[in-house]
Structure 1
Amino acid sequence: MWRRPRKFLGLLPLAASLLLSGAAFSAEVKIGYLGLQDDPRYHPDLVYTRIEIAPGGNPIDGATMGVAEMKVVSDAVDQQVVLDHQEATDAASLVAKLDEMVKAGEQFVILDLPAELVDQVAGQTREWPVTLLNATAPEDYLRQRCYPNLLHTAASDRMLSDAMVQLLRTRNWTKVLMLVGAEPRDKAMAAAFRASAERQRFNIVDEREFTLATDPANREKNNSLLITGNADYDVVFVADHQGEFSRYLPYDTQLPRLVVGSTGLVASEWQWSWDRDGSTQVTSRFETLTDGRRMTGQDWSSWIAAKAIVTAYAKARSGEYQKTADYIRGNRLKIDGAKGVQLNFRPWDGQMRFPIVLATHNAVIAEAPLEGFLHQTNVLDTLGTDEPEHKCQ
């Protein structure tokens, strides 16, 4: 028996309201998507045994799906939405490419760039008539730059660590042994977890640096049993963005303890096994679009960025850039991210508010904010840097 496809059901009330209010203008809307040419983040990361420790896959697929899903909404206001995917090789060429995109009428551009390039591009274009949406860089310092043209749909490191710490607090696992790699990215992840642990008054019993070096002089830093010995802890937090050390850590600690962070239990924007709030339909549509690739957190954040832009254009009902830019930043913006709550952006740091999933490789264990963690205005603001903590750099 034929049934109405489920993928657009959540959009029908929005489309109906737009039809009743009447379309304000008819136009082609071009949404930009600016990425790094041959981005190493999306190469499948294989160790010498051909074991994949980080999957490949470019999150442009998420933005493509977001635009396609919102066609019923853009059609309701007689808008033709086009996604313009551009790439460049360095900061100077990215700014030059963005200049071309803005001159071509692109007022909102999704940035799929490493943090240092997001920082440079946003800083050099802060006075331009364009809103940039950072979809893939989690570094907290980007949220502290206070660039007036920059929003974030990628979860910040602090959001991810706050979610993890909430779960540990509910289990009363508050004595933590931290293992941290030598890379700057590892140290940034560790700093975020440290701040979250301090918020919940955890006891970090020790912080130890690991290495992949295998020489005898480093045996206490590269051996899982040795580096986790001589301490009493409830849980091991590991900050290892490359994943090569951490993949050997579960079941190989001196004490029989949970491993979280870069392996074991991991915090993310999305996990393909999540099965609530319409998430299974989102995952299925993505796998159909990509011939079976599973949706990651970066795919989700690119998808939600595209949905936010199309919604703002449709609801602002104006051809003026500033009116649409004000709408996407305002309280009237309500986005369905298949998470059970309506999403919008924080005014102080431009970060999108949304729940975080805590998952193993094939199951979601919890979704934060967890019950019992309260906030005076919005419980989603228990994840990430809250307004009283926020400082511009």
Structure 2
Amino acid sequence: MSGTLVVALIAAAGVVAFVGIIFLLWYCLFRKSISRTSETNSSEPSIQAGGNVELSGGVSYPSGLQGARSFSLEELNLATKNFSSVNLIGYGRFGEVYKGLLQDGMIVAIKSRQAAPSREFVEEVRNLSTIRHRNLVSLLGFCQEKDLQMLVYEYIPNGSVSSHLYGANQMSSEKLEFKNRLSIAHNAAKGLAHLHGFDPPVIHKNFKTANVLVDEDFIPKVADAGLRNLMERIGGASSTSQMIVDDVFIDPEVKHSGTFCAKSDVYSFGVFLLELVSGRDARTDQSLIAKVQNYQDPSTISSLVDSRMGSSFTTEGMKEFLRLAFWCLNTSSERRPPMSFVVLELNRIHEKEISLTTVMGEGTPTVTLGSHLFTAAR
């Protein structure tokens, strides 16, 4: 073989090797690019949304999906057996409320009313459906067909806090300890604070004990977030002048000005705290608000506290709880605390109460329990 041929073969081999290396590098870069694109545009909702929000029953719903699901009337008819009266579970500001079972196995609550189709309805529902928090009842979707407007929510199986406090389904005694009620208050406050954290804040405008629902584990979820706003925009909401004058949950300033603000919800939350600790309906026992002014008086505490709670609470913890309720109920909205502070304060009181009332060995600090208050009041 001539030298020229050898040189030519070596050169050809070098070119092939060079091309091979270039191809290999291109292939690796291409694969890496695909990998990055796949990670960025993953179809996994939890990646796109930045995590899931757990709904009732352990079902997860993507926390950041834009818009709400559009349900067909046929689908909701199947879910409710043609809106059978057997599945009618209540009436609300929006309309009748039905329990439904979707084909994918999810149980939902469907609110229905007669109304003409509206683009504003769809837009408002899509906006509200993006608000996700563990302590808010999630708005999953809507339906507009045959002059019907429907809202589809996650179903919360254990009813409202009001029904457990003074309704037909009152909680058993083991569910009524002060620590349990503090936990309910703290988590409900987190839901309301989440609404107020938006810019501009989402004002509930109808916060009350009946609108705080509890799941199987008694984790509270605030219902109807933004519903009054939706109805004001699409029509059908009662005007401020038509609101019941003696509705104790409504901020006195709203009754005069007709204008809601975040601190209006704080006032409503203060009434909620009173009902939670007393086990009484503030609408029929309006003396509760007057009594809380003397929250440091042991006789006042004994007359306010629900006897079903037992005596496993500290005097200090109860005073701090009632002081917070009194602060929320200040007649001046400017002097009420923001919900973000209420969350922190309830968490502090709750943790302190647990540490002081948990049975421990020797060296447990001496505290004044609620039983001392009731004894002193006799």
Q: Higher relative contact order at CA 8 Å, sep ≥6: structure 1 or structure 2?
A: 1
Same fold, judged at TM 0.5 (above): no
Q: Could you say which structure has the higher helix fraction?
A: 2
Higher strand share: 1
Question: Could you tell me the TM-score, scaled by structure 1's length?
Answer: 0.21
TM-score by length of 2: 0.22
Give the number of the structure whose alpha-carbon radius of gyration is greater: 2
